[in-house]
A and B are shown apart, each in its own frame.
Chain A
């Protein structure tokens, strides 16, 4: 039998990187930590009621906006989310998971932001270069299909334990749909509109920002939604490397075989998930033109 020791080589490479690039990782650690703790501070600082009201307003505005926020149709579209958030947040508070929920939210927002900041520009570049797309595609496949636990090992080596390796592992896992859907959305823009813009003498930059991105927006927003949902799905796994929040409570529930704790924390994650899903889906809805 041929003995191929990919594992050994990977380990060697990871060790070398961890040793040689320490300042880089320290920098990333500091940056990510700053974002996460900042967000956690912001979300945990005001009274839960204020946060709940703010979330409700945000969600209502996003959902009702396509029909006009103060119209009957707008209220019809937005009332569900209003009730849902009030009940959901009340439940979370009542179960005593407010702080953990806000920590989780901070982690998800931080991971999603970082994923999008990397993912959307990468998707734009991929849409403009077939060669780059071909290079990126297998990397994305690898990132998406490699079991998420596997990222945790090098993440700990590079970033020690805590929120940061959690965020990094989440970003790796959640990034691909952001790239893919941005790429797809831009490539799907109708050829004749692009031709028209060119015929009127646009620059590449004008083409991108005035035509391609606006027309790809619905698809890009579907990507944003995916990124956020995948980020959320990573919170339990990320808690294994010390990320705080609801995931950690679920993990504790698993370790202690505490069904009640696990279920309560899991319910909290579901509430956050539905909230985030609805508002990010609303981002992709075009303004209704029939009003």
Chain B
């Protein structure tokens, strides 16, 4: 028979209070956002403006494309890092991690010095073809990819490492090609990690601000994603603070929706359907 001593009760109370305080800290900002947007009354009006719709649409499709590219290029890299020991592996591993610890503004400057009009590779491309990356939508995708892809690679690598390599070897002896073993055995088991990586990368891409601002600029309808539009509104465009609030609320709703969708998929995967 367990008895609850006075010390136990104190500890339980302390944990409860701390948890409640922490939860409040997370909830209050969102409550504030909703409350102000409601009170203001112009929220729906602002959502319907061309600028808001352009920004949201741009954010959605560039982040989707960035995540798609991160999956396409990042999956083989993650698998390679998880399964094989090869010269230069540690270097690649570190390079993949670098953008995670790097402030996005630095990433933006770095992109500019590489792909900008006077950049390392940007300049010869400009000279030969007259094409420049800067201030185009492609620059938005590049900025998001650089900042967000490492999160996917990291999660995918951890996922692949968690799959027993013995399973693949057995699959080979059962006649499965490397590709088939990967698709039928490795991916289904790394699925929760891959999904987590996609969510992380997507949210990073959606929220990307610093690198985009520096490398792609802030052109309405072209490079102005939601975070950029919010900053602009906040700093005193025609939309004003009400605009910042309305756009933030929109972004919050999109983010919540994505999270719920992924949770549902992950839950289905975990229950083994």
Whether chains A and B associate is no
